[in-house]
Amino acid sequence: MSYVKTVRTRDLPPPPTESGLIGWLRHNLFSSWLNTSMTFVGLAVLLWTLPPFLGWALFKANWLGDSQNACVQPMGNPDGACWVFIKVRFGMLMYGFYPEVDRWRIDYAFLLLAASAGPLLMAGLLSPKHRDERILMVVPSLAVPVILALHGAGPASLALAYLAAPTLLSRLGTRTGKLPPSTGFFGRASAIVAASILAYWAGVLAAQTLQTGLEGVIGLVAGFLVFLLPTLRRSSSAMWRLALLLTVYPCIAYAFFIGGGFGLRYVETDLWGGMFLTLVLAGVGITASFPIGVLLALGRRSNMPVIRALCIGFIELIRGVPLISVLFMVSVMLPLTLPEGTHINKLLRALVGVSLFYAAYMAEVVRGGLQAIPRGQYEAAEALGFRYWKSLRLVILPQALRLVIPGITNTVLGLAKDTTLVAVINLMDLLGILKSALADSNWLGFTKEAYVFAGLAFWVICFGISRTSMRLEKRLRYGNR
């Protein structure tokens, strides 16, 4: 048997036409006559569109300078994009007419948001060893002494209070806020609500006596805290962070944006604009429309005929009409329906319109999730003696919402894009400000640059949202992998 090899010979490599670059090309671009010809058509289209666009946007573009002269003959290249225009107007596009010296307030509020929302969205990004999500809080914390030095104690204390809150409260929450067990659900709930309302008024009074301004904000923060302490008593610090993000953060951010207390100058909402306003609209719209949408979805599946009919009517009416008509309605009709002399802020009207409109879409998405939960889950929760809200909170909603993350993302994306429509009711969001920047007689004719830039900005935001949601979806897919 000496002719039998005892050592296995090495495998031959696959032929060069099947592997590597050539193999890939053969398989993906030139696998058949049809495929080859389509490749050439595609290449032709690319050659026809891409070089002129890249030449305009990059190679021939004008980047340097600070006036229109930099982009026209003899100094600049008129065939290229004039990014100087965007550069000069950048502050306006980002902040609208917000006073320049106060723009740091917006930056800082968004920094706080990024630091507190980041870990919740991207947990798992940091390696499991260094899972301490508080690490992101370092940057806004380091900024506090700077604020203290530059802008005084008022804003610094606002920032510090929010930064320190989650750790302090989750410690405090484990010890306090216990009510006697015999009070029952209703007793407990009414005690908590009453205490929070009391806290609200106490906060308002305290703010008035100290003359800090921003009474409403302080009252709300106090009320929320008193509400959250017993409610979230034994929750994890992540839960605390989420709850604070949804309740206290908006108050703090609003305080920073509007000012009028804590050593911050008052900036009325008519001056808000640009990307900042777009983000405010999108943020408030998303956070408001989601809970309203969940409630509407529950109402639509409720056993109570009156509630069900109202919810169906609202959802179908809103989904049947365009957003512009709803915005027209809140801007023209809403003031009519209020008592004489009541004035609602234009921004608030837009927020109400956008939130209610998207709540109807959110409701349909959530309903899809609720219907996908097997009946057995509802029955099991009932068999365990869970009440309606408890079974929803612990059994139904966690499963239902996880199922419809893609749908929620789509709605959120739609909302983010549709915030641009507020330009119709004369709010200065990114597109509104762009239009007024284009009307400047020193900078005529740079419309392409303006819209390409705005398009890029929206693209980054929307693409970011959709990728984040994919990550979230993957992370939350526990059982049904």
Partner 1 sequence: MSKRFPNPRLGPADEPRPSLPVRAVNNPRVRAVCIQVAVFAVLVFALAAAVFNTAHNLRKAGIASGFEFLGHVSGFDIGQSLIEYSRSSTYARVFVVGLLNTLLVSTVSIFFSTLIGFFLGILRLSPNWLLNRMALVYVEVVRNVPLLLQVFFWYIAILSPLPGPRQAIDFFGAVFLCNRGLIIPRPVLDEGSRWVILAVVVAVVGVVGLKIWGDRRQRLTGRRAPVLLLSLLLVAGLPMIAMVATGYPVRWELPNLKGFNFLGGITLQPEFTALVLALTLYTAGFIAENVRAGIQAVPTGQIEAARSLGFRPGKILRLVVIPQAMRVIIPPLTSQHLTLVKNSSLAVVIGYPDLMAVFAGTALNQTGQAVEIIAITMLVYLVISLVISAVMNVYDRKMAIRER
- Least separation in angstroms between residue 154's CB and partner 1 is 37
Identity of the residue, 42 or 51, whose beta carbon is nearer to partner 1 in the bound complex: 42
Core vs surface per residue 209-225: b (16+ CB within 10 A) or e = eeebbbbbbbbbbbbbb
- Least separation in angstroms between residue 22's CB and partner 1 is 14
Identity of the residue, 214 or 454, whose beta carbon is nearer to partner 1 in the bound complex: 454
Identity of the residue, 41 or 198, whose beta carbon is nearer to partner 1 in the bound complex: 41
- Least separation in angstroms between residue 116's CB and partner 1 is 26
- Least separation in angstroms between residue 286's CB and partner 1 is 15
- Least separation in angstroms between residue 340's CB and partner 1 is 6
Identity of the residue, 75 or 321, whose beta carbon is nearer to partner 1 in the bound complex: 321
Identity of the residue, 218 or 454, whose beta carbon is nearer to partner 1 in the bound complex: 454
The dihedral built from the CA positions of residue 231, 233, 239 and 240, taken in this order, carries a sign that is positive
Identity of the residue, 102 or 449, whose beta carbon is nearer to partner 1 in the bound complex: 449
- Least separation in angstroms between residue 293's CB and partner 1 is 17
- Least separation in angstroms between residue 28's CB and partner 1 is 4
- Least separation in angstroms between residue 466's CB and partner 1 is 7
Identity of the residue, 225 or 422, whose beta carbon is nearer to partner 1 in the bound complex: 422
- Least separation in angstroms between residue 473's CB and partner 1 is 16
Identity of the residue, 41 or 476, whose beta carbon is nearer to partner 1 in the bound complex: 41
| HEC-encoded secondary structure of the chain | CCCCCCCCCCCCCCCCCCCHHHHHHHHHCCCCHHHHHHHHHHHHHHHHHHHHHHHHHHHCCECCCCCHHHHCCCCCCCCCCEHHHHHHHHHHHHHECCCHHHHHHHHHHHHHHHHHHHHHHHCCCCCHHHCCHHHHHHHHHHHHHHHHHHHCHHHHHHHHHHHHHHHHHHHHHHHCCCCCHHHHHHHHHHHHHHHHHHHHHHHHHHHHHHCCECHHHHHHHHHHHHHHHHHCCCCCHHHHHHHHHHHHHHHHHHHHHHCCECCECCCCHHHECHHHHHHHHHHHHHHHHHHHHHHHHHHHCCCCHHHHHHHHHHHHHHHHCCHHHHHHHHHHHHHHHCCCCCCCCHHHHHHHHHHHHHHHHHHHHHHHHHHHCCHHHHHHHHHCCCCHHHHHHHHHHHHHHHHCHHHHHHHHHHHHHHHHHHHHHCCCEHHHHHHHHHCCHHHCCCHHHHHHHHHHHHHHHHHHHHHHHHHHHHHHCCCCC
- Least separation in angstroms between residue 320's CB and partner 1 is 4
**Cα-atom radius of gyration of the chain, to the nearest Å?**
28
Identity of the residue, 115 or 431, whose beta carbon is nearer to partner 1 in the bound complex: 431
- Least separation in angstroms between residue 414's CB and partner 1 is 9
- Least separation in angstroms between residue 95's CB and partner 1 is 19
Identity of the residue, 170 or 355, whose beta carbon is nearer to partner 1 in the bound complex: 355
74: preceding bond cis by omega (within 30 degrees): yes
Identity of the residue, 133 or 418, whose beta carbon is nearer to partner 1 in the bound complex: 418
- Crossing angle for the helix pair 103-122 and 138-151, to the nearest 10 degrees: 170
Q: Which stretches of the chain bind partner 1, using CB under 8 A?
A: 28-29, 31, 35, 38-39, 41-43, 45-46, 186, 303-307, 310, 317, 319-325, 328-329, 332-333, 335-340, 413, 417-418, 420-421, 423-424, 431, 435, 438, 445, 447-448, 450-452, 454-455, 458-459, 462-463, 466
Identity of the residue, 215 or 473, whose beta carbon is nearer to partner 1 in the bound complex: 473
Question: And the tokens for 464?
Answer: 């970011």
Phi first, then psi, for residue 467 (nearest 5°) are -65, -40
Cβ within 8 Å of residue 347, ≥6 positions away:
269, 272, 277, 280, 427
